[in-house]
Amino acid sequence: MEIRIIKSPAPGTLDILLRRKGSGASTPIESVDAIGLVQGRMIEMVCAADVAEKAVGVTVEDIRGNCPQNMVLLAIFGDTASVEAALEEIKRKEKEGTPEW
């Protein structure tokens, strides 16, 4: 699993992700100070989305793309502190290998 954070995303970067988000334009994303990006296998991404949403008040979206290795990308939108906390919790759960992970 790969994890990155974009603090203060440029308008073009935000636009790329918003055009590709799985829920489409009907679900607005508000107040984006940071974007966490998490890429991995489908099973890891479902668990990561659950961990992020339970940890703090962030919005998690799947990002559509084409990848022959069955990789999936999640974008975690929110304020910087919340996105950082969500990513840290994902890393912690993955490292621990807890049963719900």
Per-residue pLDDT of the chain (101 residues; tens, 9 = 90+): 999 999 999 999 999 998 888 876 666 787 799 999 999 988 899 999 999 999 998 999 999 877 666 668 999 999 999 999 999 999 999 888 765 65
pTM, two decimals, is 0.87
Q: How far apart are CA 16 and CA 14, in angstroms?
A: 5
**Using alpha carbons only, how large is the chain's radius of gyration in Å?**
13
